[in-house]
Amino acid sequence: MKTKISEMSSSELQDATAFWLAAFEDALDRTDTISAADLFLKDSHWRDVLAFTWHLQTMSGISDIEATLKQTLHSVRPSGFQVAPERTAPRQVFRAGIESIEAIFEFNTLMGRGSGVLRLIPDSDAGGAMRAWTFLTSLEELGGHEERLSESRAGGDAFKREWGGDNWQDLRNKACAYDDHEPAVLVVGGGQAGLGITARLTHLGVDTLIIDSHERIGDNWRERYHSLVLHNEVFVNHMPYMPFPKTWPVYIPKDLLATWFEAYVAVLELNYWSATTLESGYYDEYTGVWHITLCQNDGSIRVVRPRHVVMATGVSAIPAWPDDLHGLKDFSGEVIHSGSYEDGNAWSGKKALVLGTGNSGHDVAHDLCASGADVTMIQRSSTHIVGLAEAQKPYALYSEGPPIEDCDLLAVSLPFPVLRQGYQLMTKAAAEVDKEILDGLGARGFRLNAGVDDCGFQMSYLQRGGGYYFNVGASDLIVEGKIGLLQYSEINNFTPDGVKLDNGDTLSADLLVLATGFKNMQETTRSLLGDAIADRIGPVWGFDAGGELRNMWKRTAQPGLWFAAGSLAQCRIYSRYLALQIKACEVGLITAKRD
């Protein structure tokens, strides 16, 4: 068999994958974990998503892989490894600059059905034999507790009707009222994270209630600033069970998305209480039940007792107001946070300052400029700028041909070290493409960076939640001088009329928009559930030592408390795994406390 991947035919790619999977399963059948681990490169990575470990974790290097196989093999009993016949066939790809055979496979465990992704490259230390570079094992469904889809959905294939009794709407009203039963899961927040996990749980047969403080479903997008559209393409942004129509624009307007949220709740039969806030709550360690006090729109109080609470309030829930702006209390103009900004029409002909140079700061400044305001951006720290076209490159997988289910699995399969390397290569390439605008910004005094660890916007988002901008035009306006630029280090203090600079000049302003980001979801938890629980779980978001997002989509130190947040794509992909864990808790396969 050829060892140069680019010269291999489709059948040879298939055979190489099948040979490796057979050898791996044979070693596992013999409980020979050493031989199984020897099928991996020295510099290899195995990411397991629930299938072997019931965690989201990555093992790197042969010794770590062998140790985990040895620890889990008896309880998991994996079998049936084969190239997935109904999915994208093995193919030659470049990931993070490395050529490999990329193949989707399937397997079974005692818990249920699994899928995975294997990437093979020739090992020069083994005479060119194919060895695993990256390996994903992912639990797809629990045996006996599959999603209620198609023939397995509620009602089965028999036509049933209670003549003279409750119809569908009556039953929906009763289910959503919770007058005679408690939800198993309370989801706090009705954005894409809350809707996605509720849809998954509902169709796994787990009674789930969403609450949201807004008056209307979708208001968490509808009430944002007037000109907002998503900055990544529609192809990657679908939601569980209901992909967006092919007629939709490439960049989704906020109001269209908000309308979709309303339809999503209705047609997927999700239980949703709008205009409802979580006032307080505590967890009964003895019974394993939460006692959550809710305040509804009419002022009435309800106490619900779920076994699980999912915080889906998002990474943009509590605005961060800087406390180091000397003299700000003296400023007589209007001060708002970017999270409350709507549109710039009221500020036409007036002077505005925007503090912060991330996506929100640029969008607000762009909107103010387009509305006729004299706007200046204040830069506090260097910012990563990337052109809109180049910002879509990390999602190029979704335009390579595989169906979205396969793309989602492939996206999950990239372990942190490989992801980091790939982002660095893409960031360097994007800088070459965007060189003209970046040079222009530098000439204007705008301070640039290449993102966290030179990984561009993706790692900045995953580790900081911001610090970057997709250029949809504001960078050009800065270069052209139509949007002013001021470094925060040049400011001495705020005055009633604006800001006084170190050189003695004064820059007057009628409006100050603080585009200064949002607090960590740990602080949202603190405000709703108290210090003890917030301190117990620790920070939410950003990477832990193993390269996984902290406390996201998995069990936490607080039993029965879970977190869901992120982009539409993240919420679609990882809601599956969060729902599987909660279902596994409900049927007694795992406990709700992180081990």
How is residue 231 written in tokens?
Answer: 């900055």
Residue 152, pLDDT score:
53
Residue 86, pLDDT score:
93
Residue 401, pLDDT score:
80
Residue 565 has pLDDT above 90, yes or no: yes
Question: Are 429 and 386 within 8 A, CB to CB?
Answer: no
Residues sharing a CB contact under 8 Å with residue 314, sequence separation 6 or more, in sequence order: 189, 191, 193, 220, 521, 565
| pLDDT tens per residue, range 72-90 | 999 999 999 999 999 999 9
Domain 174-317+521-586 is found in CATH 3.50.50.60? yes
Q: Do domains 5-142 and 174-317+521-586 have the same CATH topology?
A: no
Sequence letter at residue 278: L
The mean pLDDT of 178-206, rounded to a whole number, is: 97
Residue 420, pLDDT score:
92
Residue 159 has pLDDT above 60, yes or no: no
Confirm whether pTM is higher than 0.85.
yes
When pLDDT is cut at 50, 70 and 90, the band that residue 191 belongs to is: very high
Residue 158, pLDDT score:
46
Question: Are 437 and 471 within 8 A, CB to CB?
Answer: yes
Report the candidate in 523, 489, 494 with the shortest Cα–Cα distance to residue 506: 494
Q: What is the DSSP letter of 449?
A: -
- State the Cα–Cα distance between residues 64 and 368, nearest whole angstrom: 54
State the sign of the Cα–Cα–Cα–Cα dihedral 151, 576, 232, 419: negative
When pLDDT is cut at 50, 70 and 90, the band that residue 157 belongs to is: very low
Residue 200 has pLDDT above 70, yes or no: yes
Q: Are strands 561-563 and 308-311 parallel, antiparallel or unpaired?
A: parallel
Residue 96, pLDDT score:
93
Residues sharing a CB contact under 8 Å with residue 162, sequence separation 6 or more, in sequence order: none
Q: What is the DSSP letter of 79?
A: E
The mean pLDDT of 327-345, rounded to a whole number, is: 91
Domain ranges (residues) in the chain: 5-142, 174-317+521-586, 328-514
Sequence letter at residue 514: L
- Mean pLDDT for the chain overall: 93
How is residue 509 written in tokens?
Answer: 């302003």
> Which backbone phi and psi does 302 adopt, to 5 degrees?
-125, 140
* Helix or strand holding residue 48 (H, E): strand 40-49
Residue 127, pLDDT score:
87
State the sign of the Cα–Cα–Cα–Cα dihedral 84, 85, 88, 92: positive
Reduced 3-state DSSP string for 252-303:
CEHHHHHHHHHHHHHHCCCEEECCCEEEEEEEECCCCEEEEEEECCCCCEEE
Angle 263-257-296 from CA coordinates, rounded to 5°: 65
| pLDDT tens per residue, range 298-318 | 889 999 999 999 999 987 668
When pLDDT is cut at 50, 70 and 90, the band that residue 593 belongs to is: confident
Backbone region of residue 530 per phi and psi (left: phi > 0; alpha: psi in -120 to 50; beta: other values):
left
| Domain covering 5-142 in this structure, CATH number | 3.10.450.50
CB count, 10 Å around CB of 267?
10
Backbone region of residue 504 per phi and psi (left: phi > 0; alpha: psi in -120 to 50; beta: other values):
left
CB count, 10 Å around CB of 479?
20
Residue 545 has pLDDT above 90, yes or no: no
The mean pLDDT of 139-152, rounded to a whole number, is: 84
| pLDDT tens per residue, range 393-448 | 888 888 778 899 999 999 999 999 999 999 999 999 999 999 999 999 999 999 99
Half-sphere exposure of 343 (CA within 13 A, CB side): 9
Residue 129 has pLDDT above 50, yes or no: yes
The mean pLDDT of 233-250, rounded to a whole number, is: 94
Question: Are 575 and 197 within 8 A, CB to CB?
Answer: yes
| Domain covering 328-514 in this structure, CATH number | 3.50.50.60
Residues sharing a CB contact under 8 Å with residue 433, sequence separation 6 or more, in sequence order: 387, 389, 390
Half-sphere exposure of 416 (CA within 13 A, CB side): 18
Residues sharing a CB contact under 8 Å with residue 366, sequence separation 6 or more, in sequence order: 227, 472, 473, 474, 477, 483
Which residue has better confidence, 280 or 226? 280
**In the chain, % of residues over pLDDT 70:** 97
Residue 569 has pLDDT above 70, yes or no: yes
CB count, 10 Å around CB of 417?
15
Burial of 541 (0-12, 13-18, 19+ CB in 10 A): buried
